[in-house]
Amino acid sequence: MEQRLKNKVAIVTGGGAGIGEAICKKFALNGAKVVVCGFPDDPVEAVAQEIAAKGGTAIAYKGDISMAEHARMCVETAIETWGKLDILINNAGVFPVMETIDSYPTEAFQYLVKNNIQSTFMMTKFAIPHLQKTKGNIVSAGSESGLLGIAENAPYGGTKGFIHAFIKGVAVEQAQYGVRANVVCPGAIDTAWTHKETGPMSTKTEKMVVEATPMGRRGTPEEVANVYLFLASDEASYVTGSLYSVDGGVTINKGATGSMADDSMKSEPAGELNLKHSMEGDTAKNRFANTYGYTPSSENNSNAITEALHANGGQLKNSVSKALVGLSAGLAVAGMVWNLTRKGRSNEEEFGHVDEDVASSSGQSGQENKSAAPSNASSGWEKKMDENPANNPANNSLNNSGGSKGGSGFTNEGATGNAD
């Protein structure tokens, strides 16, 4: 069989489960050397070992790539191991909760921005210089929700809309250097995210996503990986800045037409990959439950996280109280600074100069309070994974602050990245 990515080096973020696993194995099957990137509790090493067992070449990298240092280290891992980088697959992402916007947890929104947007930006930033050398390409995970929007998960669709526009911009600016950039936009795919038992969807939502798909079923991770393979290969040499929908027709559909699909369309193709981790990864019912100590309801998962936040309201209340105290202190000092400034201006008008000592000391006090307040406000889902190791004297070693090739990875708490 012809290997469409022979001798190519690829990084696949969110490579330990779901669509990411399928991309890693599809690329390796087609001759690529693959960096399987994910968080420490993702099965990235298992995927790399499974690839090796089939005669492919892969290594595992563990780290929080939403942080600049970790993203840089991931790219350097590929360069140090194989001397180049040809392909970057920005597949990492999260799908934490389904709620209407009035009930959507602020922490969940911040979590989405961190893991869907920052990770894509950071990896692209550090990969581009190396992709320019190889005339390589980027394929990022968009979504049908980034094209249409998505009810009860509006922020998620917003993060995917950012990725669509971001990659189009990258495609234009990097064409002069020979780098292509495209987006794959999956619909409902048969992973943990779209099952009520393992993800944030309710029974009603799970049924609805299938009925709204003209082909009458979820897609398979391998069906999505096939499109990634095409876009990453030289066969797509004239394709850049494009959004490829892999959604069973949901973006062109009007109404519940899934039941009308021909039986041949409703059956998932067998595929050629042995996928073992499609139902693993970042879901509301395993990693979030373990990390944040809540128990989602068995039936209505759409309200699970909000219920959990209410159940654990003590911690959230304390965090909010601290933030309000810090804000109040900041406002009080700001008022003092304003009064002193006004007094200084009055003195200047009356005596022709400003008391520089008073202005300097009051400005410094205001700045100290301005910077101190946010430090008390950070809470919830960010936890330790949002800490910048470079700013923490306790984290001076690689094992504590960064990622690692294989091994146990960094020690920060976090959740994985897997695209739709």
Q: Which residues are catalytic?
A: 156
User: Could you give the CA distance from residue 409 to residue 174 in angstroms, rounded to a whole number?
Assistant: 32
User: For the sheet containing 33-38, what is the strand order?
Assistant: 243-246, 180-186, 137-141, 87-90, 9-13, 33-38, 57-62, 404-405
Nearest-angstrom CA–CA distance, 85 and 131:
6
CA distances from 380 to 241, 284, 308, 314, 319 (A): 36, 15, 11, 11, 8
Strands 87-90 and 243-246: unpaired
CA distance linking residue 123 with residue 125, whole number of Å: 5
Residue recorded with tokens 């003092």: 336
Q: How far is the C-alpha of 304 from the C-alpha of 276, rounded, in Å?
A: 27
Rounded-to-integer distance, Cα 405 and Cα 15, Å: 14
* Listed residue (88, 89, 240, 237) closest to 174, CA to CA: 240
Contacts of 243 (CB under 8 A, 6+ apart): 142, 147, 164, 182, 183, 185
DSSP H or E segment with residue 58: strand 57-62
Closest of 140, 201, 190 to residue 165, by C-alpha: 140
Taking the alpha carbons at both ends of the chain, their separation in whole angstroms is 29
The closest alpha carbon to 134, from 74, 184, 88, belongs to 88
